Structure 1
Amino acid sequence: MTTSPRILARSEAILKSWKTLNWASAFSAFIYPALGLALLVTMIVLGLALEGLTLHWWYAPIALAVTAFTIFMCNMGIGPLHRIWQHRAGEIKWPAQVFAMFNCILAMQGSLRDWVNYHSQHHRFADKPGDPHNPFESKRWAWVGWILWRDEKDLERPMPMWLKENKVVLFGDKFHITLSLILHFAVPAVIYAIVALSGGSLILTALLHASVIIGRAIQFHATTLGVNVFGHMKTPLWFDYFLALLTGGEALHDHHHDHPRSALHLPKNGFWNRVVDYNGTFLLVLRRLGLAKNLEIAPQFA
């Protein structure tokens, strides 16, 4: 009698050391958010300490609004990436694809090819050995460990067959590093230059820049924690909805593995359902605009 070889847990099988650390992921997950927080604190301290710099009370609500808007825009990338490109819950036309692709760059999702391949493995081995981010092995690993330490074999996987003809996905995947540098560094540098030359407020500009960085970080960690960890655990309903607001409904994970191809994660009808599951609402809006079609909706959400 032969026995099949034991599949090692990913958190055990992958070598973890400073030499094998994925620095691009470390930058996205921790270093860049820390720089954004440092920029925010520095601007507040300078505004309070230096007479030449003025902090107005109304900077605070603007900064909070920009943070919330950044979270929303990041989810406008991850929603179509997850529900349309990953699970093929429908089709979106090229203008919506370009919009989603740039928001994936804003959200610092890295290679779209790797994103889809990792998520495919997750559904294949969900909560079992072989799952790239199994929270029952290690919650810390499921949160960020699997991002920080990668298996080279995972990164060598080709583009999934169903995306090989998608020119927008191929472009975004091929140039994701270049596009990230442009969007996260070149564009802010141009904005700073325009503000400085026009005599605008550099302190407000820096505060808003910090808000964008922090908003992106909040969405990033809400997704990895909300989906990979808490999405696979029993949590209070209020907490599920809180995470859903930060992830566009992606953290509403109870039925996702039963109906992965659903474009909606909550019932179609109901005002608050459409507010909380706003990634799904965005797809419904795209359908109304003629930019999405053939959306599949799970029976309990129709």
Structure 2
Amino acid sequence: MNSFTYVESSESHPEIPLVGGDVTEGVVRVGDTVRRSIGPSSPLVHALLRHLEATGFPGAPRFLGIDTAGREVLTFVPGEVAGRPRPPWIADEERLASVGRLVRDYHAAVADFVVPDGVQPGLGVSMPPDMPPAPPYPVELVGHADYTPDNIVFRDGKAAALIDFDLAKPTTRVDEVANAMMWWAPLCDPVDADPLLREVDVPRRCRILADAYGLADADRSRLVEVFTLRTRRAWFSMRQIAEERGGGWARMWDEGVGDEIKRREAWLDRHGAAIDAALKAP
């Protein structure tokens, strides 16, 4: 037995499947714990969660070890998530602002986290040879990088915790805020938005999230640029992951996520100036 072996309690609990998300399968709740399969990103995720626990950050599950079935064991985070179909409160602006504050607090907690030697971030797939260039800004921290409504736990109407750190990677603050905006503004062609978010004022919602986070002026000025470059790269990376990983990634590709990304890029070309103006307005 090593320090990462999880010792089961003497009380027996059933395994209750947990649904949500697009690619993670076989997640179950056992008592006050969650069991998930180990993947290529697990070494980084485990180190990151241990760091968050050491800093006292309350908004993430705790990594408890590996069970006898070879699954990671995490604490169960109580609350509500915006599963499918999305709840009416998905468009609530107070909840939107709380997402920005939670991302800010996570960044403060992870600011001094260093990726351990020998740990490789990412999903273990190869870089597409035709991948467009990345935004030309230096890495600032290890981000969550997947702020979907399924991955944010709310309590008392406020974003309280993050779950599913599988896409965590070294990135920048503006990348992180843009990722949150993608899901919560949302930054996409309205045809691809949830019906409850198709008529919202997207530039206004981007400003609310940026203000709640406390996004610096320099990052506001480059956000549309960064998100446009990330969107162009997303088509190539999603295609590559679908080919190499299969499973939920392949299903998403087959269901048209590549076309959705292309529509997002075209939508950004039409509306990027309005978002930029809203972010930089006095």
Q: TM-score, normalised by structure 2?
A: 0.27
Larger radius of gyration: 1
**More helix, by proportion:** 1
Using CA pairs under 8 Å that are at least 6 residues apart, name the structure with larger relative contact order, 1 or 2. 1
